[in-house]
Amino acid sequence: MSGDARHSQILQVAIRLFSQNGFSGTTTKEIARVAGVSEAMVFRHFATKHELYHAILDFKACEGGTKNPPWENPIIKRAIEERDDYAVFYNFALGALLHHKQDVDFMRLLFHAALDEHELSQMFFDQFVSRIYEFIGSYVRERQIDGAMREVEPRIVVRAFLGMLIHHSLNNILWDRKRHLLNISDEAAAHEFVTILLNGVKK
């Protein structure tokens, strides 16, 4: 296995184990065992467990997470230019729900990091979540200036919107995996959440 492939493999194993056991509950020895390499090989790629944990965020970014953010999505960009509120929020919502479903281990890892008060959580917040607030909040403010949306603190709108998406994903990932409470497609969920939001903020 090439050095790059081995590097990626160790990261993938680490993501899975960190998502299951948290930072303090995962050892480099366990990561090495599951990856089928020596612990020395792990340290050859990552000097410390902290360095490995930090590398995860960059790794996920390169996979498409934070380096292909919603504000770079051409469909959303076009919807913003056309002032198509439904398309802006629907495409954001659907993209978020699909991403949550496709990357459950990283979602779980982020919550472990927050509970452990590990700096990875703050890094993700600073690099991604805070920019989401800025991106959606700026659009809401522009539409308020256009007279299309009610005057309400834009960050309240963002929090309400993200709250619906994240709570829905958490239910599906952590508590209601068999969809007993609510069994709908991501497309239907995105449509309903956006409809609720826009009915509340549109004039």
Per-residue pLDDT of the chain (203 residues; tens, 9 = 90+): 677 788 888 988 988 888 788 777 888 999 999 999 999 999 999 988 888 877 876 666 555 444 567 778 899 999 999 999 999 999 999 998 988 887 777 777 777 777 777 777 777 777 778 889 999 999 999 999 999 999 999 999 999 999 999 999 989 888 888 999 999 999 999 999 999 999 999 99
Q: What is the distance between the terminal CA atoms of the chain, rounded to a whole angstrom?
A: 59
What CATH number is given for 64-201 in this structure? 1.10.357
Predicted pLDDT at 190: 97
Domain 3-60 = CATH 3.40.50.300? no
Mapped onto helix, strand or coil, the DSSP state of residue 7 is: helix
Predicted pLDDT at 66: 47
Q: Are 8 and 63 in contact (CB under 8 A)?
A: no
Q: Give me the phi and psi of 22, to 5 degrees please.
A: 80, 175
Topology match between the domains 3-60 and 64-201:
no
What are the tokens at 111?
């919550």
Query: Which of 37, 5, 25, 15 shows the shortest CA–CA distance to 116?
Result: 25
Q: Give me the phi and psi of 149, to 5 degrees please.
A: -130, 150
22: left (phi over 0), alpha (psi -120 to 50) or beta: left
Distance CA 161, CA 127 (A): 19
Predicted pLDDT at 61: 55
Predicted pLDDT at 64: 45
Q: Are 159 and 185 in contact (CB under 8 A)?
A: no
Query: Domain boundaries in the chain?
Result: 3-60, 64-201
What are the tokens at 32?
């090495």
Predicted pLDDT at 65: 46
Predicted pLDDT at 19: 79
